[in-house]
Amino acid sequence: MRSPNTPLRSVTRAAFTLVELLTVIAIIGILAAILIPTVGKIRAAATKATCAGNLRHLATSSLLFANDNKKLLPTREATQSNHWATWRHPHVYSQPDYLVFRPYLGGGEGDRETIPSLFCPGPLKDYRNSTSNTYHGPEGLFITYAYYNLKLINPAILTAYGMTSGNDLRRTNTISPNFPLWSCLSVQLGSNYMDHDTPNQPGGFSGQNVASADGSVRWVAGDQLVPYITEGANIYHGPRP
C-alpha cells in the first residue's frame, strides 16, 4: 500500500514528435517515389511481353496455315493476280478471307473479339475497341495488329529485304525470313500517331513489337520505324530493314 508521503509518479504516453512525424512522412514519400515508377515499368514490361506472345501466336498460325496450303501464306486466293486488290486495311481478319484463316487462331466462330491474340494489350486496345466511340465499324478496324502481307509494300522496302516484288511475300519459300509479317498497328495520320503505347497522339511513335516471317519476335523503337504502306492519308510503319 502506498504511503501518503510517497510522491505520485507521472505517467507519460509515448507519442511522435512533429519532427519524427515529418521524418516518417518524408521516408514514405521517398519510397513511393522509388516504387511507383518501378511498378509502372514492370507493368509496361509485362504488357510488352504479352504483346510479343500474341504476335508469336499470329506468326506461328500463319506458318501453320502455309504448311497446310502449299507454302502459301494467308493472302487472297492464289488464283487472284493481284492479291491486294480488295483488301481495304492491313488486317487479314477484316475481310471474308479471314474465315479461312480463323481455324488457325482459335476463338469463337464469327467473333473476332474472342481471340485474345488479335489485340495488342497496350493503350491502343482501349482506344480502338468495339465499345469505344473511336470504333469504326464491323470490319475489324478495332483490332490492333497489322499484317503486312496484304497491301502494296513500298518497293524500296522489298528491295532492302532482298525481294523483287510483292509476290515474294506470298509464300514461305520466297518471303525474306527477316520480313515483318505481323506487328503492332503503327499508323501515322497527319501529325497524330497510333502504336503500341500511343492511342492517337502527336509526337511520334513509341515503338512496336514485330513478328518476322521466321517466327521470331522483337521490340523495335519508334525512331526505327519507316513507312511501309501509304493508303490515302494513312501511312503504316514497320521496322527499318
Q: What pLDDT digit, counting tens, does each position of 114-161 carry? A: 677 878 888 877 776 656 665 554 444 556 888 887 667 889 999 999
**Who's near 48: CB < 8 A, 6+ residues apart?**
122, 196, 209, 219
pLDDT of residue 218: 95
* pLDDT over 90 (residue 176): yes
Higher pLDDT, 61 or 148: 61
For residue range 184-197, list pLDDT tens digits in order.
989 898 888 988 88
Largest CA distance in the chain: 114
**Grid cell for residue 8:** 505520485
Average of per-residue pLDDT across 207-226? 95
CA–CA separation, 212 vs 240, rounded Å?
A: 13
pLDDT of residue 33: 75
pLDDT above 70: percentage of residues in the chain: 69
* pLDDT over 80 (residue 172): yes
Higher pLDDT, 45 or 79: 45
* pLDDT over 70 (residue 112): no
* pLDDT over 60 (residue 53): yes
Average of per-residue pLDDT across 217-238? 91
pLDDT of residue 18: 73
Instruction: Give the pLDDT band of residue 29 (cuts 50, 70, 90).
Output: confident
pTM (predicted TM-score): 0.75
Instruction: Give the pLDDT band of residue 51 (cuts 50, 70, 90).
Output: very high
The answer to whether the CB of 158 falls within 8 A of the CB of 170 is: no
Q: What are 236's strand-pairing partners? A: 187, 229
CA–CA separation, 222 vs 206, rounded Å?
A: 5
Average of per-residue pLDDT across 77-101? 49
Instruction: Give the pLDDT band of residue 102 (cuts 50, 70, 90).
Output: confident
pLDDT of residue 82: 41
* pLDDT over 90 (residue 241): yes
CA–CA separation, 180 vs 212, rounded Å?
A: 4
Mean pLDDT of the chain: 77
The answer to whether the CB of 154 falls within 8 A of the CB of 165 is: no
